[in-house]
Every structure is written in C-alpha cells, then in structure tokens.
Chain A
Amino acid sequence: MKIGAPTEVFEGEARVAMTPDSARLLQKLGYECVVQSGAGQKAGFNDATYTDAGVEVVADASALYAAADIVAKVRPPSETEVGYLTKGQTLISFFYPAANEPLMKNAAEHGANVIAMDMVPRISRAQKMDALSSMANIAGYRAVIEAGNNFGRFFTGQVTAAGKVPPAKVLVVGAGVAGLAAIGTSTSLGAITYAFDVRPEVAEQVESMGAEFVFLDFEEEQQDGAKAGGYASVSSPEFAAAQLAKFRELAPDIDIVITTALIPNREAPELWTPDMVAAMKPGSVIVDLAAEKGGNCKMTVMDEKIVTDNGVTIIGYTDFPSRMATQSSTLYANNIRHMMADLTPEKDGQVNHNMEDDVIRGATITHEGAVTFPPPPPKTNAIAVQAKKEPIKELTAEEKRAKEVAEFKAQTKSQVILMAIGGGLILLAGLYTPPSFMQHFIVFVLSVFIGFQVIWNVAHSLHTPLMAVTNAISSIIILGALIQIGSSSVLVTILAALSVFMAGINIFGGFMVTRRMLAMFQKS
C-alpha cells in the first residue's frame, strides 16, 4: 500500500507529516511512500531529499490523494481535502473531532477511515505515537525561547565587571508535558523557575526538573489526576480562589509567566487576571500556550503579540510547533510511523485496522463509513490510581523506649528458653551416655559455638572463598582414613586408601582454588 503526505494547506503551517527518515522506516514496514511536491520545503526537506529516500514525488494534492491509500497529515483536513477522500482510504492527522463534528461526518460519508492523532489514548504503550505530547514538548521549549526573545534581560544571574545582573524569575502554570518542557528549558537557561499545577502529585516531577513547586495553603481533598486520564479537570471555586490569591501574591516578582493550563474539551480557565498583569513589572513577558482555547490570561490575543499599557508583553501565538518545523516534523513523522507500525503487525505493507486494540480503537473516529467517536473507555487506566498511603505513625520517645524494653524482654525470654531446653537435653544425654562420649560432645558443642561466632563476621563478598576453604578443611576426614588404613582387613584398607585419595584431591584443590580466588581481589 502507499502512504502519502500532502502539503499542508493551513495558513502558516510549516510542518509535514513525513520526513525522508520516516519514509525510509515506513518502507521497511512494506509501504511505498509518496509526497506532494514542496510538502517538506518549509520544514527544511526539499523534494530531492525525498527522492533520495525512495519517495515518489507527485505534482499536486489531487494526484497525491489519488495515489495514496493512506494519507498522513498534520492539521485537520479542509473541506476540499475531505472531498478528495475515497472509500477505504485512511487518513491520519490531528482532527479534534469534538470541535469538528461536521467535518468528521463528511469524512465518514466519503467512506474514509480517519485516525485522529489527538485521540491516541494516554497509556504507556501508546506514548510513542502520542503526538500531542511530542508537540507540547516543542511548544513548551519554544515558549521559553519566545519569552526570552521578548525579554530584555538575561535569564541567568551574573556578577560581571560591569555590574550585577539578577536572575530572571519564571513561573510556569500547568505542569503537563508543555509545562515540564518549559520548566526544563527555563532552568537550563539559568532562570529561577517556579511551577504550579492543580494536581499535587506532579510536584515531584516539577522538582526533578529543577523548579520549585508552588504549594497552596489549601485544605481540601485534592483531585487525583489519574482518574482523568492524566489530564487536569475542573477545580472547585474555593480552590480556584486560593490559587488566584497565590498568583496575585507572586505576580509583582515574576518576570516571565508561561501558562499552559488546559482542560480537555473546555475553554481554558482564567488563571492570570488583568490585575496580575497590571502588577507585573514593565518589560515582563507572558506566554499563553492556551491562547487557542481562549487563553489563561483573557487579555491574550490569539496568534498575536501585544504589549499592555504598563509594558508587559503578552504572546498568544498558537503555532509554536510550526515555528520549529524541522524538529516538530521529525517528531510528528515518527509518531505517525509508530502508529503505522502498530497498524501493520505483519510488516507486510497491509493495514490491519484492529478495532479490538485499545490504542487504534481510541484514535479511530470514522471507520468503514460510520462515525466511531467518542470511543469506549480504554480497558487500561492511563496511570494507576494512587493508593492512599497510610502515614506511618511517629513513635514518641516513651513508646520507643517501651518497645525496646519489650523487645529486649522477648529476646531474653527466648534465649533463656533455648538455653534451658538445650541444657536440659545435654544433661539428659549425660545421664544415659558414658563419660567418653560426653567429653567429645563438649568439644562438639563448643566448636559449633565458635563456628557461629566466627562465620557471622565473614564478609559477604568472600562467601565463595569461604565455601572453598571450608570444603578444603572438611577433608579433615582424611584423618579417619589414615587411622584405618593400617587395618588387618584388606577391604578396610582399600576403602581407607580410596578415602585418603579423595580427601587428598579435596585438600589441595580446595586450598589452591581459594588462594587463586583471593589473589584476584584487588583494591582500586
């Protein structure tokens, strides 16, 4: 079958769904690849590099849609593009089916199977095709770069001959994929980074990226993000108020704010109010990654950069991934390629559209002429629901002491009992056995004791040499054989001789191999 990538028709979109590298890997899955002339131009891949990778280049979109069995795109298709779709053709692209219902129905009427990359469920197995995450990662990185571009100072603090430069303070609101990427970029540029999220369980991730998590003084059972498929959900009004109060307190100190708070299928929550913007210093920058959904700051103008009256720059671009088209095309093309790999379990170039598979089922929005959106809930949870942890009770000093005393008593008791039983048994044996036996028995008991005391101190790493050495000295049995070898019975002599021989092997073998091993232990 043929996979084709057309040129994106959306205004300003520079990405492409297939790169020469991904095409090579798709060919390994048994597919032929085709691309519209100039599709990769803006992302830095010209037609010649595609041709080199064995990709067929066709002149225009209609030719491409006619040639390809599977069409891979970035942006949701336009009406015209849906018009090209034919029965049985597969379209893979971002689709946002909830917002584009007429388009989805239209595609279904054309009989095309549509896989929406934005509908890939968030389970570990599907991470490799989670295009939302890979694009969010780029957006988070680029948000910091754009902020820096519009920010008049260094990120990192410096003490130079010309004077001291304070470090920039960055606040990242929403620690999803984009937020974490922004945190990482910002900390590595040297800024002091704070981060906030309504899901307290991400505090650990935030701190692992080197930022400081902003905790609220708020007593409420906070929601567990795991239930909502790893996404944030709506918070209570009290919580929202506490959150805004905290931001208001921070606003005067913060130089750069990056907001990434999105709730699936809802307008973006307002987190950075106009009074906070007013409280910020001139020259500060706000990057609103939620601009497409109305913005976390309501002053944001979508796709534009504005400067407020008090000199705060608010960036509302929505095309961050497209601004890094080479990088984002590479990652997106890889996501598509992984999706194709899952669709082609046999690697024979034939699509096996397995609707039983959680990932494929979840992402498919139209199949064989029918709309299959929304998908049933996946069989596996995105993230294991956090078990409530019982806090370990701190013991008070008295309780600890009491516990120690009790343990000591129990130990003493068990030791006394053991000794009493052991002593009793020995005494009993002494009553019925001759003294010659008891003499030897005392030696035996004492030796066992010494053995226990000595062996506990042997280093773990020397356990193998210990076994070899005990093996060698257990051939002390040779003494018995030596004593018997002079017997008048021939059979006894033969058996004794054999024993001497075997013990001889053991003595030399055991000691030699121990020496060899110990000689190898070297200090650095």
Chain B
Amino acid sequence: MENAFTIAAYVVAAVLFILSLGGLSGQESAKRAVWYGIVGMAIAVAATLFGPGAGLWWLSIVLIAIGGFIGMQLANKVQMTQMPELVAAMHSLVGLAAVFVGFNADMTINLVEAAKVAGEAVTGSFSELVAKKDAVEITILRVELALGIWIGAVTFTGSVIAYGKLAGKVNTAAIKLPGGHVLNAAAAAGSLLLLIMYLSGAGSWTLILMTLLALFIGYHLIMGIGGADMPVVVSMLNSYSGWAAAAIGFSLGNDLLIVVGALVGSSGAILSYIMCKAMNRSFVSVILGGFGGPAGEQMAVEGEQIAIDADGVATALDEADSVVIIPGYGMAVAQAQQNVAELTSRLRAKGKSVRFAIHPVAGRLPGHMNVLLAEAKVPYDIVLEMDEINDDFPDTDVAIVIGSNDIVNPAAQDDPNSPIAGMPVLECWKAKQVFVSKRGQGTGYSGIENPLFFKDNTRMFYGDAKKSLDELLTRIS
C-alpha cells in the first residue's frame, strides 16, 4: 500500500518533471532541465521500489539495469539524422508497456474476484488496493484500463509504422486499404461495442479483441499519412503515449502517473497544433491523410529552371554580404549538415553575415533541423525561426535553399488554388539571388510545382546536396 512517504516522493518527482519541461524554454536552462527530469525519475522509481513495488524488487532492478544499458547504447550510437526514427521507436515501447500493464490490471481484478469468492486473502499491493473497491469503482477501473490499453495499442502499432516510414523500411507514400476511413470508423465502433460488452461482464476475450482492433487502427491510421506530415504524426503519437500513461494512472490509482501522463499528453498535443498551424491545415485533415484536392485550376508556372555550377555559386557567395541558408529534409537525407556548417564557418570567417531560416515543419520531427545544425556545431544564435527572419529577405544578397521545397513555395501566397495556399512560407524569393540545391527537376513529396524554381533570380544547383557542397567548398577558402 502507498504510504505517506511514497506520496511525498511522488510530489517531489512531479515538481521536478514540470521544472524539467519548463526549463526547455532556453538552450542554456535546458541543459539543467534534463537533470531535473533524471532526478525526478530516479526518485519516482526508488520510492516505488521501496514502497508499493517492493515485491520482486531485485528482479525489477536487474531488468531496469539491462534495459538501461540497451537504452544508453542506443542513445549513444544513434545518428542525429535518425532522431525521428528513434523517437518513434521509443513511443512504441511506451505504448506496448501501457497495454501490458492494462492487461495485468484486468487479470488482477479477475484474480481478486476469484479470491473473494473463495474467501482467500490476496497478496501484492495492487491486489490489496483492488480488493477494497466496491462494484462502481471496479467498473470505473475497467473503463480506465480499457482506455489505457486502447490508446496504448494505437500508439504501439502507430509508432512502429511511423518508425518504419521514417527509417525507409515502409513505403512512405500514403497508403489506405480499400474502405479507407470507413474501416477506421468501423474498428472504433467495434471497440466501443466490445468495451460495453466487457463492462457488462462478457469476459477478458472482449478486451483482447478490442486490443486487436486498436492495433489495426494504429497501423491503418499511420499508413495513410505521407512522409511530409511525419512531424505531426510523431508529436501526435507522443501525445497518445502520454494519455495512455494517464489512463493507466487512473486505473492504478497512481497520481504521479496521471500527472506525468497529462504533461506528456498536453505537450504532444501542443506540438501537433504548432505543426499543423505551420502547414495551415487542420489537425483532422492531417490525420485523415493527404492533401485535399485543389479548389480550382492552379496557376501554370512559366519560365525555365536555370542551372548553375559550383563556380557560379562560389562567385556569388564571394560577392554577397548577407547569406541566409534554408535547410530542409533533403539536407538530412544527404547528411550534408557538416558541409553546411563548414560553408557557414568559412563565410563567417570572411566577415559575411550568415544565418539560417528554419520553417517549423522542416524535416521529419519538430525542431529536426535545429538538432542537425547543432550537431554540426552551427551556433544556435544564428539559427532563426520563420517569423524572425522573413522580413529580412529583401535585404539578403543570397538565399541558399538546401533540400526544401514546399516551405519555400511562393504559390502558397500567390495562388489561391494551390493545395498549400495560405501556408506560411519562407519568402526567400525576395532575396537578391536564390540558389536551390536539389537533386533533380521533379516536384517534391507533395507533387506541387514550385514557381520559386522558375523565378528570374533563382538558379538551380542540381545534384546531391552533400556532393554539391563538397564541390562548392573546394572553391571557397
């Protein structure tokens, strides 16, 4: 049973977790904030091990140690460009854990009921807790654990698919089974039906069936969302894993689980909201997958993409005083961030102003570009957000677009019929000259023609971003 000491420890841990998230408001305070999180977690686990989780504590410690060792190995080996995959994979673990814990709760309830009928005493702290509950409380408990299992299961398969898509192991295009959203809706309705049956005492098989339906929903939902929408998906799954933890917290009567679950859940929800806003799309339209059809005929793009070679870019950079670099997912794919950083430091050494413009949905994870640039040792004070830098483009000599497409598409502003009309974009075309490093002439993921590439002041620097920059670096000393 929880004693006062455990609860006190939980309060301390909860405060530390809140401080940990709050500390992320600045780069310097963030370094301290991680430690708050670590200490909070250590206190929470230790208090549980001494208090209500004292049974088999040696096994728990051994398992945590092994898991921790694997976790550390992963964390140290992972490449920064693979962060989205790692985060998605970890979400799946939380989701699965929630499912297991939920099932355990169900089994415990059954055990306790059996024991009550037999008149035996129950052992284990959770069983004792359950034993004290009356019939209404047990029903609520069942609702809560079913909810926890359901969200956990959706998170699990969803994260596994998201991981597969991000790692390139699953086709990144939006794929839907015949039936589309009707299938999802049917599965959700089926889940609800099974939940009612479960509550009216139909037995644990309903719970298992409901879990299978949830697993299917997670799979099908994420399969239907394309690669460029991954920032929303990952933050959404993050949110789900939090809500699953909160639901489990309710069923276990553990306040710390509820607090942390709610924190994580709302954090993910806000991130999803920010990402959706940056794409000028509603959350629902992202989740339902794909772009809506264009409202009318899109403006035809006129002109021609004019190519340029490394010499031309080098000359222009040599003459420029202010340079803005706009990285996108293409930079991450080509692993070109080190070259970009090298280019930056060489240009800065010549006394030129070099800055980075980051669109909120650049990359496959919220803040993805910032992490990559930080890894390559680009100082964070020259890495600016869209709102901070958009007004500066008219005074910029050279804008370099590296592997981004839709986030620099002027059609979002000019063409009301464009699928991305109204999405805030980086107005790089206002710079005196724009260089676009791009693999070929094709359109990007979204298949939307980009008039930027046809503008008079735009020159296309074709080729793999990394190779192009390598070549460029040989010409800039």
Contact = CB atoms under 8 A, between A and B. Distances in A.
A, B from the same assembly: yes
Interface of A: 123-125, 127-128, 380, 384, 433-434, 436-437, 440-441, 443-444, 447-448, 450-452, 454-489, 491-493, 495-524
13 contacts: A125-B304, A440-B258, A451-B262, A455-B271, A458-B21, A464-B365, A472-B41, A475-B94, A485-B55, A488-B124, A501-B64, A504-B63, A504-B64
Contact of B456 (A124, A444, A451, A524): A124
A434 B134 CA distance: 10
A511 B59 contact: no
B454 interface: yes
Contacts of A488: 111, 122-124, 127
Contacts of B245: 474, 476-477
B140 A437 contact: yes
A507 B375 contact: no
B270 A452 contact: yes
A451 B263 CA distance: 5
Interface residues of B, number: 127
Contacts of A443: 255, 258-259
A450 B18 contact: yes
B101 A502 contact: no
B171 interface: no
A450 B97 contact: no
A491 B306 CA distance: 66
Contacts of A518: 27, 30-31, 34
Contact of A484 (B24, B126, B249, B261): B126
Contacts of A495: 100-101, 103-104
A509 B365 contact: no
A459 B253 contact: no
A342 to B, nearest CB: 11
A369 B48 CA distance: 97
B108 to A, nearest CB: 6
B360 interface: yes
B37 A473 contact: yes
Contact of B101 (A123, A433, A499, A505): A499
Contacts of A479: 44-45, 48, 53, 252, 254, 256-257
A384 B267 CA distance: 46
A462 B86 CA distance: 16
Nearest to A502: B93
A519 B28 CA distance: 9
Interface in B361-391: 365-368, 370-371, 374-375, 377, 379-383, 385
Interface stretch (B75-83, B184-192, B313-321): B75-83
B460 to A, nearest CB: 14
Contact of A461 (B27, B94, B103, B454): B27
B165 interface: no
Which 4 pairs from chain A and chain B are nearest by CB? A486-B55, A504-B67, A524-B379, A463-B367
B366 A463 contact: yes
Contacts of A493: 56
Interface centre among B20, B69, B111 (most CB of A within 10 A): B20
A296 B243 CA distance: 78
Contact of A460 (B87, B254, B259, B370): B370
Contacts of B91: 471
A493 to B, nearest CB: 7
Given A473-B37, A473-B260, 20 more contacts: A123-B302, A125-B302, A447-B259, A461-B385, A462-B25, A463-B367, A464-B367, A467-B235, A474-B261, A482-B53, A484-B108, A485-B53, A485-B55, A501-B66, A505-B70, A505-B71, A505-B74, A506-B93, A513-B83, A519-B31
A489 B108 contact: yes
B322 interface: no
Nearest to B30: A518
Given A455-B270, A473-B37, A517-B80, A499 B100 contact: yes
B262 A509 contact: no
Interface of B: 14, 17-18, 20-22, 24-27, 30-31, 33-34, 37-38, 40-41, 44-45, 48-49, 52-56, 59-60, 63-72, 74-76, 78, 80, 83, 86-87, 90-91, 93-94, 96-98, 100-101, 103-105, 107-108, 111, 122-127, 133-134, 136-137, 140, 234-235, 238, 241-242, 244-246, 248-250, 252-268, 270-271, 274, 302-304, 306, 358, 360, 365-368, 370-371, 374-375, 377, 379-383, 385, 454, 456
Contacts of B123: 486, 488
Contact of A512 (B27, B75, B133): B75
Given A499-B97, A520-B371, A444 B262 contact: yes
A521 B93 CA distance: 28
Given A454-B18, A520-B375, A465 B366 contact: no
Contacts of B360: 460
A522 B374 contact: yes
A450 B74 CA distance: 31
Interface centre among A481, A499, A505, A524 (most CB of B within 10 A): A505
B90 A510 contact: yes
A523 B379 contact: yes
A472 B37 contact: yes
B456 to A, nearest CB: 7
Contact of B358 (A123, A437, A460, A498): A460
Contacts of A499: 96-97, 100-101
A480 B129 CA distance: 13
Given A470-B268, A474-B245, A524-B379, A487 B104 contact: yes
Given A124-B303, A380-B302, A458 B266 contact: no
A512 B262 CA distance: 23
A486 B78 contact: no
A462 B262 contact: no
A380 B304 CA distance: 13
A437 to B, nearest CB: 5
Given A477-B101, A479-B256, A467 B271 contact: yes
Contacts of B133: 436
Given A461-B358, A499-B100, A504-B66, A448 B48 contact: no
B252 A473 contact: no
B53 to A, nearest CB: 3
A124 B303 CA distance: 5
A457 B107 contact: no
B302 to A, nearest CB: 6
Contacts of B260: 447, 473-474, 476
A477 B302 CA distance: 56
B253 A436 contact: yes
A494 to B, nearest CB: 9
Contact of A481 (B30, B90, B97, B250): B97
Contact of A492 (B54, B69, B107): B107
A434 B21 contact: no
B111 A489 contact: yes
Contact of A517 (B67, B246, B374, B379): B374
A37 B25 CA distance: 75
Contacts of A506: 67, 71, 90, 93-94, 97
